[in-house]
Chain A
Amino acid sequence: MRAWAGNARGTRGLGTGLLWTAPWWLGFLFFLAVPMGMSLYISFCDYPLLQPPVFIGAANYATLATDPVFGKVLVNTLVFAALAIPIGTVLAVLLAVLLNQNLPGQGLFRTCLFVPTVVPLVGAALVWLWLLNPEYGLINAVLRLLAPLATGANNLIAALSGGHRLTWLSELAAGPQWLSSPHWAMAALVLISLWGVGSAVVIYLAGLQEIPVDLYEAAMLDGASAPRRFWHVTLPGLSPVILFNVITGLIGTWQIFALPYVLMRGEQGPGRSTYFYTMYLFDNAFRYLKMGYASAMAWIQLLIILLLTALVFWVGKRTVHYRGA
């Protein structure tokens, strides 16, 4: 259906349109465009906040290039995004499909799934500090129960590959040190982020109901099994929503701040393993008052996110299915 646009008096001038959309473009101007301009200028300045900014050219960017902490937070953030987004997407889509079955009691299940996303960070941090405690935490207690399985699998791998064992698998069987280990701290953070999968599930649920029922009926008439219907109807129908969620997830993971900040009490984790881009940016700006340096970081972050978004769109163009397009 073609949307009605306008009224009997026909097309209005740009002025009327700008008047009606004023909240948005005024907000854009004052809270995005002007601040971005300021930020770009500040990024070329030495600006300790309490004195006026002094132009120093590209010095901040040059310093960034050789700052080992910057390199570390960059890699940490990339690794976190590369782990959390794919795992989270698969989990959220599967849960959404389960929650979309026409069964009684779904409202309750949906709420259960959503509850973790509204637990205050401080409460969540304390729970997870306990769950992930290497000695008496519940997660390692369960892992120790499952240890024979992992050891068996590792022995099998060793037998097949001529003596190669997976170090991470034996560590997992023994119960990792989680937040006090430079390697496992990242895994712990990904695990905690998966606990908040519910917010993505809600968006997928809304996407699922947009898929026309007759597509499923046609597939069933053709004798397609449930997995085939998922693969050939649900997934293509959901792909625009997945693309949207992956992009917002990408922007979101680059902004990860509060969880590691509260969990580690503002510290940087073992070997800076839970120190992320936005945390370093925040520390530079509000702890060390290096506003210029932090602004340069923000611009690099913006460029990286835009590049990654373009990459996702490029991949999406080949895989996403738009109805009626």
Chain B
Amino acid sequence: MSTARKAVIYALLVAGSLILLFPVWWMGAVSLETGDRARRAAADAAGFALWPADPQWQNYPTALGRMGTRPWQGWSEALARGHGFLDALANTVLITALSTLGQVLSSALVGYAFARLRFRGRGPLFVFMLATMMLPAQVTMIPLFILFRSLGWIDTPLPLVVPAFFGNAFYIFMFRQFFAQIPEALVEAARIDGCGLLRIWWELMLPLCRPVIALTAVFTFMFCWNDFLGPLIYLHSEEQYTLAIALNAFRNQFGGVSDVHLLMAASLVTMLPCVVLFFVAQKQLIGGLQLGAVKG
């Protein structure tokens, strides 16, 4: 690739990244301002500094302390009696971790069956499953609410977690495609040794499909971590809130602009796990991108 072309590509990438990241930078800068200066930054372009003159790092503990209705009274108190941010964090972690685990295991198992288990009716069943992918989940929003309500699951994490254990047509499809490409020779020896299909899946096949596991896990994680509509419908009491809706409650409670610096601090803390996860997993996600990279 010529140097000139490289320079153009870099210039475009840097410009694009700067534009996309500027709002996030703004969040960071405002999160470190004093309340007064943050209000001015939010109310007047001239009041905004790219980097605060006097960074207020204590905004972060203050912001996390202020989330939720119970006032912050120190760590020991928070750990003993619960606290808005810690509760929301724990709820989010629980829902996200269980959903991710359930989604990976169930989708991998069903995808494996569709790829490697020959059974009567497999083709039509698979096509049928693909067709259900086209059905938008929206139409089930109300009946599912009624169903979960009659089960007494409202205001518990169950409606958000349990469905993940039943697979998802898209991820099943991805797993099937991957499992179908694994050469038979690899499992021959295991089969001769008398390994059952389930053991072959768990011990041989599953470790091989890391890119699909990464894809399923990361997408499920990010979806659950940031999901807004689901928790809004199912979680009603503050102790059950996830971070996404706890933040919204925090904003409405303290009237938006008046505590914009604390809101920004809390938002940045909330998004941190997703950013780190993407940075770590992107190679797996885009799967050996370097090998197939377009030679310009």
Which A residue's beta carbon lies closest to that of B248?
A: A122
- For B70, list chain A residues within 8 Å (CB): none
Is B10 in contact with chain A by the CB < 8 A criterion? yes
Does A208 sit at the interface, judged by CB under 8 A? Answer: yes
Asked whether B13 lies within 8 Å of A109 as measured between CB atoms, the reply is yes
- Cβ of B27 and Cβ of A123 under 8 Å apart? yes
Main secondary structure on chain A at its contact with chain B? helix
Binding stretch for chain B, among A6-14, A161-169, A179-187: A6-14
Query: Are A301 and B144 also in contact (CB < 8 A) when A14-B119, A107-B283 are?
Result: no
Q: Do residues B145 and A254 form an inter-chain contact, with CB atoms below 8 A?
A: no
Q: Mark B12-39, 1 if CB is under 8 A from A, else 0.
A: 1100110011111011000000000000
| Residue from B21, B244, B287 within 8 A of A120 (CB atoms) | B244
CB distance from B256 to the nearest CB of A (A): 7
Given contacts A36-B140, A126-B264, A302-B139, contact A11 B118 (CB under 8 A): yes
Check if B138 is an interface residue, CB within 8 A of chain A: yes
Using Cβ atoms and an 8 Å threshold, which residues of chain A touch B283?
Answer: 107
Instruction: Check A150 for interface membership: any CB of B closer than 8 A.
Output: no
Q: Is the CB of B9 within 8 A of A101?
A: yes
Which of A34, A121, A216, A278 is the one whose CB lies under 8 Å from B294? A216
A322 adjacent to chain B (CB < 8 Å): no
Q: Are B23 and A5 in contact (CB under 8 A)?
A: no
Contact A24 to B172, CB < 8 A, known contacts A3-B115, A3-B181, A123-B268: yes
Question: Are A12 and B282 touching (Cβ within 8 A)?
Answer: no
- List the B side residues contacting A10 at CB < 8 Å: 118
Contacts A112-B20, A265-B252, A285-B145; A32 near B140 (Cβ below 8 A)? yes
Residue-wise, chain B 87-117 has the 8 Å CB interface mask toward A (1 for contact) of: 0000000000000000000100110111111
B274–A118 touching, CB < 8 Å? yes
Q: How far is the CB of B115 from chain A (nearest CB, A)?
A: 7
Chain B 153-186, CB-CB to A under 8 Å as 1, else 0, gives 0000000000101110100100000001101100
> Cα distance A74–B56 when bound, in Å?
46
Q: How many residues of A contact B (CB 8 A)?
A: 105
Which B residues, 133 to 149, have Cβ-Cβ distances below 8 Å to chain A? 134-147
Does chain A have a CB within 8 A of B127? no
Report yes or no: A42 in contact with B143, Cβ–Cβ below 8 A.
Answer: yes
Most buried by A among B120, B243, B250: B120
Known contacts A42-B142, A102-B293, A115-B20; decide if A120 and B113 are in contact (CB<8 Å).
no
B271 at the interface (CB under 8 A from A): yes
CA distance A31 to B282 in the complex (A): 31
Judging by beta carbons under 8 Å apart, are B138 and A23 in contact?
no
B292 lies within 8 A of A113 (CB): no
- Selected interface stretch from A54-62, A134-142, A151-159: A134-142
Instruction: Select one of B43, B122, B191, B292 contacting A136, CB under 8 A.
Output: B43
Contact B271 A120 (CB under 8 A): yes
A109 CA / B247 CA spacing, docked (Å): 28
Query: Are A126 and B167 interface neighbours, CB within 8 A?
Result: no
When A20-B117, A119-B27, A122-B247 are in contact, do A35 and B140 touch as well, CB less than 8 Å? yes
State how many angstroms separate the Cβ of A184 from the closest Cβ of chain B.
19
**Is B121 an interface residue, CB under 8 A from the partner?**
yes
CB distance from B27 to the nearest CB of A (A): 6
Question: Given A118-B226, A285-B141, are A209 and B288 also a contact pair (CB < 8 Å)?
Answer: yes
Q: How far is the CA of A261 from the CA of B114 in the complex (A)?
A: 40
Taking a contact as CB atoms under 8 Å apart, the answer to whether A98 and B13 are in contact is yes
CB under 8 Å from chain B, chain A span 20-46 = 20-21, 23-28, 30-32, 34-36, 38-39, 42
A216 and B295 contact, CB distance less than 8 A? yes
Known contacts A14-B120, A38-B146: A123-B263 contact under CB 8 Å: yes
Is A172 on the interface with B (CB-CB < 8 A)?
no
Q: Does A84 contact B (CB under 8 A)?
A: no
Partner of B24, one of A115, A121, A301: A115
Q: Give bound CA distance, A258 to B135, whole Å.
A: 20
A116 at interface, CB cutoff 8 A: yes
* A211 lies within 8 A of chain B by Cβ: yes
Q: Which residues of B contact A251 (CB under 8 A)?
A: 134, 136
Judged by a CB distance under 8 angstroms, whether B204 is at the interface is no
A195 to B147, CA, bound (A): 36
Is A6's CB under 8 angstroms from B118's CB? yes
When chains A and B are docked, how far (Å) is the Cα of A4 from the Cα of B52?
A: 62
CB <8 Å contact, A295 and B132: no
Q: In the complex, what residue of chain A is closest to B5 when comparing beta carbons?
A: A226
Q: Determine if A78 is an interface residue (Cβ-Cβ < 8 Å).
A: no
The smallest beta-carbon distance between B163 and chain A, in angstroms, is 5
Inter-chain CA distance A131–B27, complex, in Å, is: 11
Residues on B with beta carbons closer than 8 Å to the beta carbon of A247: 134
**Residue B233, interface by CB 8 Å:** yes
Give CA–CA (A110, B279) in the complex, Å: 8
A110's nearest neighbour on chain B, judged by CB, is B282
The residues of A that contact B251 with a CB separation of less than 8 Å are: 122, 126
Q: Which residues of B contact A (CB under 8 A)?
A: 1, 5-6, 9-10, 12-13, 16-17, 20-24, 26-27, 42-46, 106, 109-110, 112-122, 125, 129, 132, 134-147, 163, 165-167, 169, 172, 180-181, 183-184, 191, 197, 222, 225-226, 228-229, 233, 243-244, 247-248, 250-252, 256, 260, 263-264, 266-268, 270-271, 274-275, 278-279, 282-283, 285-296
| A-B pairs with beta carbons under 8 Å apart, 14 shown | A5-B180, A12-B120, A21-B114, A35-B140, A36-B140, A101-B294, A110-B282, A118-B275, A123-B270, A136-B46, A210-B292, A226-B5, A255-B138, A299-B139
**What 7 A-B pairs come out closest when comparing CB atoms?**
A27-B166, A123-B267, A6-B118, A17-B119, A209-B292, A118-B274, A20-B113
